[in-house]
Amino acid sequence: MKIVVDAMGSDCAPAVEVEGAIMAAEELGYDILLAGDDSVISAELKKHGYQSNKISIIHAPERIAMHDPAALSVRRKRQSSIVVGIELLKRGEADGFVSAGNTGAVVCATTLSLRLLPGIEKPGIAVVYPTLTGTAIIIDVGANINPKPMHLFQYGIMADAYSKYILHKPNPVIGLLNVGQEETKGTDFAKEAHALLSESKLNFIGNIEGRDIYAGAADIVLCDGFVGNVILKISESVIDTIVKLLKQEIKTSIVATLGAAMASNAFNELKKKMDYSEYGGAPLLGVDGRCIISHGSSNPKAIKNAIKVAGEFKNQEVNKHIVEELENY
């Protein structure tokens, strides 16, 4: 297995990517190609005293920053770590690609270079997240902020295959995010998506609401990329807010401070459960390749987990299953 990692993507690049790559090479036995500035990456590898032919560097002197305009940067910065990395994938020199960099640029570069799977009109970013009853997928969280109803149907097919073959759920339950349960609720877009999904062979349970997302009412939550993006960012911030407010409250009493210290293991376990680095980043579904997008603030473990998921994506032939499912509908 050979995975190319954008070494210049994360907020702490390339330190985080290099450490994650070393973990992946050692724990998973994968070959890792680090795309980015040769001298900077070499220096980072030296810090770890890492010498092995499991990790090699693909020199890419340019860098697309987090807030650079996506399409323009991809066209102009042909020597950036994102473009160089995806070109490796395109030429068949790697089995998967991982980036914690500019999400828009990754979506743009993969769509332009790798193209889409046959029958798929738009790619979607899927995020695996914890619920009260296990895990679920939400798609799309930002690749496509103005989708057509047909795109949501196709996201249903893609997430269905991903759930089956990566999350090992034989018959995932699919819900459409809306403002009410009744099929008459919502925008025209939501009503049309509801109709398409109802007619399909997918295990579609109809509309679900915001409160059902974390309750685990569905294994797959379908929504447009605007709403999904807001949900993703608000979820992270709500958790932060609660922890910070709780700390403010706890500081006001010695007994509470002691109590919080005693319960701290539980807090840490919870944080781990809510931390989506555990789930290995977000697959970009629909492109003809295997691309995992990690959080900009990823730690080395998150990068390692993303590399692992990229490998499973290949081993489980997810894209082949997506194309087959789509042909059968």
Residues forming contacts to a copy of itself in the complex (CB under 8 A) are 67, 69, 130-132, 142, 145-146, 177, 179-182, 184, 186-188, 190, 209-215, 223, 225-227, 229-242, 244-246, 249-250, 252-253, 255-256, 258-267, 269-270, 273-274
Residue identified by tokens 């293991």 is: 265
Residues with Cβ within 8 Å of 284's Cβ and at least 6 positions away in sequence, in order, are 106, 107, 110, 123, 124, 125, 143, 291, 292, 293
Beta carbon of residue 124, minimum distance to a copy of itself (angstroms, whole number): 14
- Toward a copy of itself, which CB reaches closer, 91 or 262? 262
Q: In what order do the strands lie in the sheet with 55-59?
A: 55-59, 31-36, 2-6, 96-99, 291-293, 282-285, 124-130, 135-139, 220-222, 174-177, 204-208
- Toward a copy of itself, which CB reaches closer, 94 or 197? 197
β-partners of residue 31 are 2
Beta carbon of residue 235, minimum distance to a copy of itself (angstroms, whole number): 6
Beta carbon of residue 29, minimum distance to a copy of itself (angstroms, whole number): 33
Beta carbon of residue 240, minimum distance to a copy of itself (angstroms, whole number): 8
- Toward a copy of itself, which CB reaches closer, 51 or 265? 265
- Toward a copy of itself, which CB reaches closer, 182 or 317? 182
- Toward a copy of itself, which CB reaches closer, 38 or 192? 192
Contact 83, 22 (CB under 8 A): no
Query: Rounded distance, CA 257 to CA 259, Å?
Result: 5
Beta carbon of residue 134, minimum distance to a copy of itself (angstroms, whole number): 12
Element (H, E) at 137: strand 135-139
Residue identified by tokens 């697959």 is: 283
- Toward a copy of itself, which CB reaches closer, 195 or 238? 238
Beta carbon of residue 207, minimum distance to a copy of itself (angstroms, whole number): 12
Residue identified by tokens 């990329």 is: 225
